[in-house]
Amino acid sequence: MTGARKFVAIALACGLSACARGESADDRVNPETPLWYHRPSGAMQVVVDRKLTAESRKVGEDYERGKAEIDPVHGRVFCGSADHGLYAMRAGDGSTLWRFETLSYVQSEPYYDAELDMVYFGSHDGALYAVHAFDGSLAWRFFTGAEVARRPARNGDTLYVMNASDQLYAIDRKTGALKWQAHRTPALGMEIAGYAGAAYAFGKVYTAYSDGHVIAYDARTGDERWTPVDLTADAEQNSGGVAPRYLDVDTTPIPDDISGSGVVYVASYAAGVYALDAETGARVWSNDKATGVTELTLWTEPAHKPNPNGPDKDGPMEPARKILLASSGPTGLWALDPTTGRKLWRNPVPEGGVTAPVPFAGAILVGTTRYGLFLMSPRNGRVIDAIDLGSGFAQTPAAFGLRAYAVTNFGTLIGVQVSPPL
């Protein structure tokens, strides 16, 4: 791969990071910064490059969305496509193991069930599918009536899945039988493309709706455990009493534990990012500057010994760290302190959108809809490396270990490997 097909985007990296300053001594010894920071030969290498989407079937959809799922034990990657199919591929070279055809685009994030060796995924045809991961044969199909794009959440034998019509379903993962369902009337007016998924934690299922409400349900019965939390009122107050143009809460809630208490992170497109008490829904903190957010990711780093090559190699253990990352097309990529909501850093993004960031080999990997993949430092948001194939990425990368996969907007599966120094 030569020329534009494999381009380490140094100029683009400068643009994304707002012309980051040069490497400092702190960058070299701080354990939050990967050892290969600003590595001259480039940190990322393309190791898989194959055409995935069949052009004859790609009609009416300009982007490849969703996210791949990685089965590291068996070396498989499961990924949907705008050509109506879910693909199972070998992680080593991207070759196809099998393909399952649906009635519309598969622009979802699959969920791999290792215990049953099953893959659950949604389609724009309105159904949630369960197929056997070994050969792609159908186990069951559950019709929801609207696009299914978000990853199912699981608790024991129950899957929780949202569709694009603000409907939440609890489904038996073995049989596909309905256990319970919940619904809110979709908001009237304009909405951002996309919607929130479901998350399970603390015995509850958390989700959000297009009318700006966030709700917790009893995971077993589907009964509401919160009075619905309305985030649109804050958006109207922040705009001086003017009703917001967009009401959506499109981010899948992220459960967490801070200072011994359960919280749930969500983001309203107009009102900003919130941490809500997991038991009551009461506000813990909010950041009304981080607007336009459509994806949230919690980046974590376990406690560890300092850099063995640094002057503090015999020092005490570095504490565990967390960063809440928020992706916004209008305002950029934000890093927030999960305990207070305070901004740690913000990186403006180039023209176009930005995917959800994913933890990758101690760093952060994000896709941009026009300028390729960027590997960034979670410490300060500066770009470590970038690869541009000329098509951009609307699909969120999937990463495990030192390998990541994503499908370009031209329908090409890319596998990227990080090469830290010895």
User: What CATH number corresponds to the domain at position 364?
Assistant: 2.130.10.10
User: Buried b vs exposed e over 286-305: b needs ≥16 C-beta within 10 Å?
Assistant: bbbebbbbbbbbebebeeee
Our count of domains for the chain comes to 1
The whole-number pLDDT of residue 28 equals: 31
Percentage of residues in the chain with pLDDT exceeding 70?
80
In this prediction, residue 14 has a pLDDT band, given cuts at 50, 70 and 90, of very low
In this prediction, residue 219 has a pLDDT band, given cuts at 50, 70 and 90, of very high
Distance CA 372, CA 386 (A): 7
**pLDDT at residue 189 is higher than 60:** no
**pLDDT at residue 35 is higher than 50:** no
The whole-number pLDDT of residue 3 equals: 40
Which of residues 65 and 56 earns the better pLDDT score? Answer: 65
**pLDDT at residue 31 is higher than 80:** no
The mean pLDDT value for 176-180 works out to: 98
In this structure, of 10-19, 125-134, 280-289, the range with the lowest mean pLDDT score is: 10-19
In this prediction, residue 194 has a pLDDT band, given cuts at 50, 70 and 90, of confident
Which residues form the domain of 221? 3-418
**pLDDT at residue 290 is higher than 70:** yes
The mean pLDDT value for 81-98 works out to: 95
The mean pLDDT value for 188-216 works out to: 86
In this prediction, residue 40 has a pLDDT band, given cuts at 50, 70 and 90, of very low
In this structure, of 112-116, 223-227, 306-310, the range with the lowest mean pLDDT score is: 306-310
Which of residues 30 and 418 earns the better pLDDT score? Answer: 418
373 bridge partner residues: 367, 387
- Max Cα distance, the chain (Å): 60
The mean pLDDT value for 126-133 works out to: 98
In this prediction, residue 242 has a pLDDT band, given cuts at 50, 70 and 90, of low
The whole-number pLDDT of residue 410 equals: 87
The whole-number pLDDT of residue 352 equals: 72
What is residue 17's three-state secondary structure? coil
The mean pLDDT value for 264-288 works out to: 95
DSSP code per residue over 186-228: PPSS---S-----EEETTEEEEE-TTSEEEEEETTT--B-SPP
Distance CA 418, CA 37 (A): 11
Nearest residue to 167 via CA among 127, 120, 220, 111: 127
**pLDDT at residue 309 is higher than 60:** yes
The first and second tokens of residue 304, run together, are 């560890």
**pLDDT at residue 24 is higher than 90:** no
DSSP letter for 16, please. H
Distance CA 148, CA 123 (A): 5
Distance CA 354, CA 41 (A): 26
The mean pLDDT value for 297-301 works out to: 93
The mean pLDDT value for 368-397 works out to: 88
The mean pLDDT value for 352-372 works out to: 89
Round to the nearest angstrom and report the end-to-end CA distance of the chain. 25
| Region of residue 156 (left: phi > 0; alpha: psi -120 to 50; beta: else) | left
In this structure, of 96-100, 137-141, 234-238, the range with the lowest mean pLDDT score is: 234-238
The whole-number pLDDT of residue 179 equals: 98
The mean pLDDT value for 280-300 works out to: 94
Q: For all residues of the chain together, what is the average pLDDT?
A: 85
